[in-house]
Amino acid sequence: MLTQRQRRLLEIIIKEFATSAEAVGSIDLPRKYELRVSPATVRNEMGRLAEMGYLEKQHASSGRIPTTLAFRYFLEEILEELDRFDAIDITRKAVLNEDLFQKRFNIDHLMLSAVKSLSELTNNASIALVDDKIYHSGLNHMLENPEFQDLEVFKQILSIVEDYSEMSSILSRYKGEGDIKVLIGDEIGQEYFKNCAIVFVEIPLSGGSIAHLIVLGPNRMKYKQVLPSIQFISEKIRSLISDWN
């Protein structure tokens, strides 16, 4: 169980890491966030958080980065309170509704529009898996993040993204419940995805098949923006597809 101070510190470290993608040190945090404790106290607390599995060292840096456990700690809270987050303004919702509605009777057009809209809303790559077909948009967003600057890593990720069987296998690793499913870091089970997160939903189709709508990005992605966005798009698609029956 985290103390209030440890929880606040972990939240700050995740915020700093999400912004910079760099290891977070203890020196500037008390002043920047008015923590009213010394850098030495922060350093000691960071050590305890590391012992509990919430932080880890990155290479030779003296700073720490959040682990999968740290992201998961706050992610569960966001999922529980998802209804109070609204990442899309009402005008944008109206535009998205109309765009998806116009494509409701053509699955190819519908999914292409869905992944394009989802990528634009989240500034991450978006993918859809439907009956052995793969639709994607915004893969270029990945290159905007330092996690994917290594071209070999980027190429390997792309090769998996474009392989329906590989992507399906990754998604099958999720064993939790809930409409919105999230795999972070080592939960993905692929070396090249160790700094990634995959957010996805399942959408039932006629004939008993399942479509998957996916957001792929760094593990420090803005979950408070990504989760409501994928929820909105997937609910709209479910509503439109229900009219087929």
List, for residues 110-152, the tens digit of each pLDDT value: 999 999 999 999 999 999 999 999 999 999 999 999 999 999 9
Average pLDDT of the residues in 72-98: 88
Would you tell me how many other CB atoms lie within 10 Å of the CB of residue 106? 11
Return the minimum-mean-pLDDT range out of 12-21, 83-92, 99-108. Answer: 83-92
Task: Please list, in sequence order, all residues whose beta carbon lies within 8 angstroms of the beta carbon of residue 245, skipping any fewer than 6 positions away.
Answer: 206
Domains 4-66 and 82-242 alike in fold: no
Of 182, 234, 203, residue with least CA distance to 131: 203
Predicted confidence (pLDDT) per residue in 6-62, tens digit: 999 999 999 999 999 999 988 889 889 888 888 899 999 999 999 999 999 876 666
Assigned CATH topology for domain 82-242: Beta-Lactamase (3.30.450)
**pLDDT-based confidence at residue 82 (cuts at 50, 70, 90):** confident
What does the pLDDT read at residue 61?
62
Which element (helix H / strand E) includes 72?
Answer: helix 68-80
What does the pLDDT read at residue 1?
84
What does the pLDDT read at residue 243?
66
Average pLDDT of the residues in 238-244: 81
**pLDDT-based confidence at residue 81 (cuts at 50, 70, 90):** confident
Mean pLDDT of all residues belonging to the chain: 92
Across the chain, the runs of DSSP E, i.e. the strands, are 55-57, 64-66, 125-130, 133-137, 181-184, 196-204, 210-218
* The model's pTM: 0.93
CATH of segment(s) 4-66: 1.10.10.10
Domain ranges of the chain: 4-66, 82-242
What does the pLDDT read at residue 59?
67
